Chains A and B, each alone.
Chain A
Amino acid sequence: MKPIRILIRSVSSAFKSVVRNLSLSIASISCIIITLILVAFAILLSANVNNFTKDIEGDLTVVVFVNKDATDENIEDLKKNIDVVPNIKEITYKSKDQMKEEMQKENEAFDKIMSEWKEGENPLQPCFIILVNDIESIGETANTIKNLEHVDIVKYGEGMVERLVSIFDIVKKVTIVAVVALVFVTAFLISNTIKITIYSRKNEIDIMRLVGTSNMVIKLPFLFEGLFLGILGSIIPVLVTIYGYVFFYDKMGGVLFTDIISLIEPYNFVFQISGALVIIGAIVGMYGSYKSVRKYLKI
């Protein structure tokens, strides 16, 4: 029971301290609000960029057109040869007839023209549709395949895709760095608030030390105070994230400028981000106060 009583007293003392040093607490909470909103923005951006990249990566293929004069045996050999090329995830073979069928289904004009072709008359080339593991080395993979026997033409996004993916990659990295930096700024702000609280209660801490209060009991209220500041500071960013993202998603119709770039659906995405914000607030709050307690509360 003793530890529970000590815990309850620490929580109540921390709460009182937040109220007692109201102006300082408000200043701290305001800073946390601003940083966490920026953190939320960075996470939303980073998650969406990640989503776009995955979407594009999923759609990206290498198409290998086989020589017209290749026999079934040659095609079988080529498949085996492609199979051993590094970075290959999946190979699908499409014969001339399959190609024709698909093109007819896709487009009415094609259908009209192709339906006039006589039986056995099909100028299309059979092909392999290849999915790769690593999108960044798709060019290299395509080049290797190009040099294989019976390969006529190899087609893929050629540059544009890689550039897009690498731009997304840079955006992602920059946002991660920004999030980490912001988290540290918040931790520093909280640590500063706790430092001032420690100084303002120096007298009380000295007396507690001298009358035999255990170190843990002296330190706990400060750790809880940091925790409270972190959690209180995350409330507004959570609301901004939930309402802001839902509003943005609805306003944009679920896509970013073009249908190719679709946004992540708001539910449960916003709740996950909100949870992350509260956890970041709490951890950063505790960490900030822990830093100050360690540095300025040498017992």
Chain B
Amino acid sequence: MSFIELQNVYKIYKNGVTAVADMNLKINKGDFVFVIGHTACGKSTLIKMLYREEKPTKGSVYVGGINVAKLKNSKVYKLRRKIGIVFQDYKLLPKLTAYENVAFVLQSYGYKESEIKPKVIEALSRVGLKEKLRSFPDEMSGGEQQRVCIARAIVNKPKVLVCDEPTGNLDPDTSKEIMNVLSNINKEMGTTIIMATHDRDIVNRMKKRVVVIKNGVLAGDYEKGSYKVDEAH
């Protein structure tokens, strides 16, 4: 079995909308995969099913051998400790500094302060924010805030990093910086990265595996660098 595997997955919302239909997908450990498609094509639903924010209506979603679809609500937190999540809107706490925003994850896991400090500094250094430990979110640029979000996602060294349009709110140059950070994490830490995006330039430039979704159905799965923009649009 692959590290991440979707088997005949359906997601039908209560209002009758089918967000994902008969999805089959395999992602190996250490892969970097883009999930692309139009707005409301189902890519966010797919991403959310990986960390059990959404439960599939039918089918199985395996992450690291665990069928996430069958996971009890009370055990979901254990899954999420193995998955780092990067959001489009960063989701930082405005009253906490960059350091505190990252440390707060480990504090909530019950780590000792002496264990937390080196881990947080390492995570913030990896995203190039060692000098901004004491800055508050409103004192940082969008790109910097996104890097804090990435540092928070990787501080517990997760096996998977799920990114839901992480460059959606950023200009092209800053987006490039963020992609470099993610690429380095993938290479240096061996973290599997699944990234939903709209950004054609990034997808074309990075030359990674691309999964195309159209109206909730898997419309294409392209190996590294074989994807061309025109095919999806």
Interface string of B166-194 (1 = CB under 8 A from A): 00000000000000000000000000000
A9 close to B91 (CB less than 8 A)? no
B residues contacting the other copy or chain, number (CB 8 A)? 24
In Å, the complex CA distance between A204 and B83 comes to 18
List chain A residues, Cβ under 8 A from B80: 209-212
Cβ A211 vs Cβ B105 within 8 A: yes
Q: How far is the CA of A215 from the CA of B76 in the complex (A)?
A: 9
Tell me, rounded to whole Å, the shortest Cβ–Cβ distance linking A113 to chain B. Answer: 87
Partner of B85, one of A2, A6, A211: A211
Is B93 within 8 A of A214, CB to CB? no
| Shortest Cβ gap from A36 to chain B (Å) | 33
- B73 x A210 contact (CB < 8 A): no
Also in contact, A207 and B91, with CB within 8 A (given A5-B110, A9-B107, A213-B108): yes
**Is A151 engaged at the interface, CB distance under 8 Å to the other chain?**
no
B126-174 at interface with A (beta carbon < 8 Å):
152-153, 156
With an 8 A cutoff between CB atoms, is A3 at the interface? Answer: yes
Interface size of A by CB at 8 A reads 21
A212 touches B79 (CB 8 A): yes
* Contact A3 B110, beta carbon cutoff 8 Å: yes
Q: Judging by beta carbons under 8 Å apart, are A203 and B110 in contact?
A: no
- Cross-chain contact B81 with A212 (CB below 8 angstroms): yes
Q: Quick one: which of B74, B110, B152 contacts A211, CB cutoff 8 A?
A: B152
B108 contact set on A, CB distance < 8 A: 9, 208, 211, 213-214, 217-218
B53 and A210 contact, CB distance less than 8 A? yes
Q: Any chain A CB within 8 A of the CB of B14?
A: no
Known: A203-B91, A204-B93. A213 touches B109 (CB 8 A): yes
Partner of B93, one of A203, A209, A217, A218: A203
Looking across the interface, which residue of chain B has its beta carbon closest to that of A211?
Answer: B105
> Closest 3 A-B residue pairs measured CB to CB?
A212-B80, A212-B81, A2-B110
Further contacts, 16 of them, CB under 8 A, given A209-B80, A211-B153, A212-B82? A1-B112, A5-B110, A5-B112, A6-B110, A203-B91, A206-B91, A209-B77, A210-B53, A210-B80, A211-B81, A212-B78, A212-B81, A212-B156, A215-B74, A217-B108, A217-B110
Write the residues of chain B forming the contact surface with A, with a CB cutoff of 8 angstroms. 51, 53, 73-74, 77-83, 85, 91, 93, 105, 107-112, 152-153, 156
